[in-house]
Amino acid sequence: MNAGGAERTIATLANEMVLLGHSVAIATRRAGVDHYELDERVTRYRPSSHRSALSGLTARVQNAVSRERHLSRVVHEFRPDVTVTFGMSALASALLSRLSAPIGLIIHSERSNPYVSHSKMIWRLIARPLAGLANGTIFQTEGARGYFSRRLQIQSAIIKNPIVMPSTSVNLVVDHSRRQPRVVVVGRLVPQKRVDFILKAFADFHADHPRYTLEVIGDGPERERLEQISRRIGDGHAVRFLGVRPDTYEHLTNARFYILASAHEGMPNSLMEAMAAGLTCFAGDCDFGPRSLIQEGVNGWLFPLQDASALVRLMNFEASDLAHSSEVGQRARLLATSNSPASITQKYLAYFKEIECRSTVSSKISTSK
């Protein structure tokens, strides 16, 4: 599993559930090293790293068949009571496995903005009926839930992502006058994250606040282009690209501001973690995640997606009043309590139980007809 938000959620839930005595397995469709640490009691299934020596369509078909066989073997061996799928293709695989093995309840976790992730013709045609075949669905926002049928919405639940905080967070200093004048961005360097927009806004902000620096944590295909843009800001050293790091939390806890400018989101883990670390967070008002987390002027700020000047004005306001910025950061930290790993895990388990009871009642009704 790589360093993505869904992978972070999977690892966190698995670790919490084995602590509670549940048997948990994680099966992925691709081999590779796990970015997030897993409890040794979590059973890990990886496919073979061998790929077809052929090329083109034949190779893609062979690799796809190999992945489906791998997941089918996992189901036959582990025989789960509940299977949680992250992503629509994973749901399709689980439904296929159900044809040949007892897979128990299938709960689909919708991770992204479905209006964007299901925009291709094939997904527009099959996403809704496919989701309807699961026993239950977990969404992160009301906006994402609204994409699907009324029947599915009634049987679903909204559960946010867990926020993992290190033990040292109890001593966290939220007085921004004692933090470094740094702005942090965390995310994959791809067009969706619009880091070029952030660089434009930061350049204007930096002109009036030259002590501030910007740290970009993450990597991706846009990095070289973005680094070139950053060299034109200030003396050319105002922006640092740090790549993917294991110590992201440490970079957050000593900074003042955080910016998210994504074109679309599901539920941005990085924003949740920045809020929990006490930063004043500025987020583009995209569909759907940020507005379900931020109360404007209370625990953060939203800005219109295309309005860099609005972002600059908000940053100038908070930079000129660090006492207010500290208060905003302190209120943002409350998110960590309501979305702790233990709390979110209990919500997942309660929903599993609800779906199990509903399925049992439905089965009895069907049998009596």
**For position 166, what pLDDT does the model report?**
79
Q: pLDDT category, 23, cuts 50, 70, 90? A: very high
> 158 and 36 share a domain?
yes
> 330 and 295 share a domain?
yes
Reported for 354-361, long-range contacts at CB under 8 A and 24+ positions apart, including other chains, are 354/136, 354/157, 355/105, 355/107, 355/135, 355/136, 355/155, 356/82, 356/105, 358/155, 359/105, 359/135
Whether 52 has a pLDDT exceeding 60, the answer reads no
CA 233 vs CA 202, 209, 211, 230, 289: distances in Å: 8, 12, 13, 5, 30
> 97 and 198 share a domain?
no
> 330 and 363 share a domain?
no
Domain count within the chain = 2
> 156 and 187 share a domain?
no
Whether 130 has a pLDDT exceeding 90, the answer reads yes
> 320 and 268 share a domain?
yes
Report the mean per-residue pLDDT for the chain: 90
> 348 and 332 share a domain?
no
CA distance 293 to 303: 14
Say how many C-beta atoms besides its own lie within 10 A of residue 119's C-beta: 11
> Contact, 258 vs 182, CB < 8 A?
no
> 245 and 134 share a domain?
no
Whether 18 has a pLDDT exceeding 80, the answer reads yes
> 267 and 347 share a domain?
no
> 114 and 18 share a domain?
yes
**For position 137, what pLDDT does the model report?**
97
Span 205-223, average pLDDT: 97
CA distance 329 to 312: 18
> Contact, 293 vs 270, CB < 8 A?
no
Read off the pLDDT of residues 70-120 as tens digits, 9 standing for 90 and up.
Answer: 887 888 889 999 999 998 988 998 998 888 877 889 999 999 899 998 888
> Contact, 313 vs 295, CB < 8 A?
no
Among 43-47, 143-147, 202-206, the least confident range: 43-47
Residue 19 structure tokens: 């602590």
Q: pLDDT category, 367, cuts 50, 70, 90? A: very low
Higher per-residue pLDDT: 56 or 331: 331
CATH of the domain at 131: 3.40.50.2000
> 156 and 242 share a domain?
no
Q: pLDDT category, 5, cuts 50, 70, 90? A: confident
The DSSP annotation for 30-53 comes to S----SS---TTSEEE---S---S
Share of residues in the chain with pLDDT > 70 (%): 94
> 61 and 198 share a domain?
no
Structural domain including 116 reads 5-162+340-368
CA distance 280 to 166: 20
**For position 41, what pLDDT does the model report?**
97
Calculated CA dihedral for residues 26, 32, 37, 41, nearest 10 degrees: 40
